[in-house]
Chain A
Amino acid sequence: MILARVLGPVVATIKHPAFAGHTLLLCQPVDETGKAAGAEIIAVDHAQAGQGDLVLVMREGNGVRQVLKQKMAPIRSVIAAVVDHVERG
Chain B
Amino acid sequence: MYLGEVRGTVVATVKYEGLEGKKLLLVQPVDHARKPVGSMEVAVDTVQAGVGDFVYLVGSREAALALDPWFVPVDAAIVGIVDDVDAKPFASK
Bound pair: A and B?
Answer: yes
Q: Which residues of A contact B (CB under 8 A)?
A: 5, 7-16, 18-19, 24, 26, 28, 30, 33-36, 39-43, 51-52, 61, 72-77
Which residue of B has the minimal Cβ distance to A30? B92
Q: Would you call A34 and B93 a contact (CB within 8 A)?
A: yes
Q: Would you call B87 and A12 a contact (CB within 8 A)?
A: no
Shortest Cβ-Cβ A-B pairs, 6 listed? A15-B80, A74-B66, A12-B80, A42-B1, A7-B87, A16-B79
| Contact A76 B87, CB 8 Å, known A15-B80, A39-B29, A42-B2 | no
Tally the A-B contacts, defined by beta carbons under 8 Å.
109
| Contact A7 B90, CB 8 Å, known A26-B85, A39-B31 | yes
Q: How large is the interface on B (under 10, 10 to 19, 20 to 34, 35 or more residues)?
A: 35 or more
Most buried by B among A5, A15, A61, A75: A15
Q: Would you call A11 and B58 a contact (CB within 8 A)?
A: no
Task: Choose among A10, A15, A72 the residue that contacts B70 (Cβ–Cβ < 8 A).
Answer: A72
Cα–Cα distance between A35 and B85 once the two chains are bound (Å): 22
Contacts of A26 in B (CB 8 A): 3, 32, 85, 87
Which residue of A has the minimal Cβ distance to B57? A42
Q: Would you call B56 and A42 a contact (CB within 8 A)?
A: yes
| Contact A19 B2, CB 8 Å, known A7-B88, A72-B70 | no
| Contact A13 B90, CB 8 Å, known A39-B38, A40-B32 | no
- Let me know if B83 is at the binding interface, CB within 8 A: yes
| Contact A12 B82, CB 8 Å, known A36-B92, A42-B2 | yes
